Amino acid sequence: MSVTSEPDDRSTSDVNRTQEAILAAYAELIEELGTDDVSFRLIARRAGVGERTIFRNYATRVDLLLATAAWIERRIFPRQDSPSIFDMPLTIRAAMESYDHRPELAHVVAETTMRGIGGAAPSPRRAMLEEMIDAEISALGDAERRAIVAALAHLDSAATWVTFRREFGMTRSDIADAAAWAAEAVLDPIRSRVG
């Protein structure tokens, strides 16, 4: 199963071709073998580079894992921009469904943030959520704004998908429904304050 998708402007500007090959190879191998059984030698062979090239770009396995998780989020699980904060439940529903199609990769993304590995971006879409709220509901107090952003950022994450799958044994549609419903519940109290 190939992990590459159509490149977007962000993914091509963040990594060079060699790094792209390394990250794509590692993601493919994670889906085939899991994270524990993938050696740097195997990644190098799959990427068509020397093992030293991997170490020049990613000095440690943690560096490689962080870069791969970020790459997976951008390339495998990209989000469509929501025109409104009130469209986030639909965005979150779509994200949960995409995680379910690629569970090994969703686990990698979730575990890098859940383990608190230094350098992991715990909420990559936080700034976007803050901007949308500021544009649509500028009258929110700081505490309420922070709570809404935190709730939506958490719901729009691989960690949420992993929690629903592992701890509750939920199906793809149940996870998508629960996450979208929770996002609606977060947003319902502020709908009347738009404008």
What is the pLDDT averaged over residues 165-179?
96
This prediction's pTM: 0.83
Domain positions in the chain: 11-75, 85-193
Give CA–CA dist 89/180, Å, rounded: 4
Q: In 34-141, which residue ranges form alpha helices assigned H by DSSP?
A: 40-47, 51-57, 61-75, 88-101, 103-114, 126-136
Confidence class for position 193, pLDDT limits 50, 70, 90:
confident
Instruction: State pLDDT tens for residues 90-109.
Output: 999 999 999 999 999 999 99
Q: 195 or 126: whose pLDDT is higher?
A: 126
Domain 11-75: assigned CATH number: 1.10.10.60
Torsion 158-160-163-164 (CA) sign: negative
pLDDT of residue 165: 96
Instruction: State pLDDT tens for residues 54-86.
Output: 999 999 998 999 999 999 999 999 988 888 999
Find where tokens 């469509």 sit: 80
